[in-house]
Structure 1
Amino acid sequence: NFTSTETTTPSKPTEPEGILGMSVTNAGFRNKDVPLPKGKWKSIPIGDAGGYSLGILANGTSFIADTELTFKGLNPGAAVIGRFYLVSYKKGTPTRRLKGGTYPAKEIVGTAGTSLGSVMQMAKSSRTPDKGRSIRLRFKVFAGTKGVTFTKASHRFAKD
């Protein structure tokens, strides 16, 4: 008769973290109303304290970014457009928007009352920063009509 005194604890399955298994490295929540200018792109601050960058990207970094927005004053059937874009940043110098560093836009269509929409981007950075600068991901919105205000924004950024 064989008796084992060894006990094994079953391993706990690992749960994916963050967004699609990537760890969220930056999240921001904006609760202050921001009026959108008609016919112009407006960069959205990350968090109530300001700052615009969702994340810093090294060349070859895979990332997922997600921004959810709540609007008032967006008429039913009218739309705002949101998209992510890349900039070259160095403290104390002008920020430069990178040519070809704008990701596809997504429309958010207005509904009666409050309008809600989200924009998600999955990509791999193919940019190498200039010496002393970093590549940063940002988000902006375009409203084609006047009187549109975004009232809340939540941002999540994850990378491998």
Structure 2
Amino acid sequence: MTFCPEDFYELGKKLKNDNNYIRFDEARKRTSASRVYYSLYLKLRDELLRYLLGSSVYPQLSEVAESGLMHSCLLEILKKVDLQSSYKFGSLQELRKKSDYEVDISVGDNEVEDAIAIYEELSRKIPDLLKRVSNDVDRKNSRVREVIQRYYERKHKRRKRKKNGWFN
């Protein structure tokens, strides 16, 4: 059975409005924001890989997608094709980090609402974003291809460092 990334979004929405977790209000908001981010991240990653299947950049991108580097790689790709979408994805990414790691800072209801709104907006834009990526990849001086190549090289440098017994 395969997992549907949109289930994370549905769970995030349900948790946002679920009054059964009032005692765990902060954890509920944090989990909601984090799941909404991961839903969009997985959806973007998977659809980008499917869209670029057979392209010259697919082998490198598929390797990057197997690593944690894909989070920042997706953000950089979006920056090359739609600055406003990259800003929104980046703000959702920052909220996810805040939700998962910054225990001394509260996550507000308005931040969770913003996360859901960003998810909905960017989900609608995915077909257009994919076309922009594809059009860029086909260009001679592709900015998206440069991003993918840079992250591919970073992944291999990490692998080499890890193999040599040290990692940063």
Could you state the TM-score of these two structures normalised by the residue count of structure 1? 0.25
> Which of the two has greater strand per residue?
1
* TM-score with structure 2 setting the length: 0.24
Task: Work out which structure has the larger RCO, using CA pairs closer than 8 Å and 6 or more positions apart in sequence.
Answer: 1
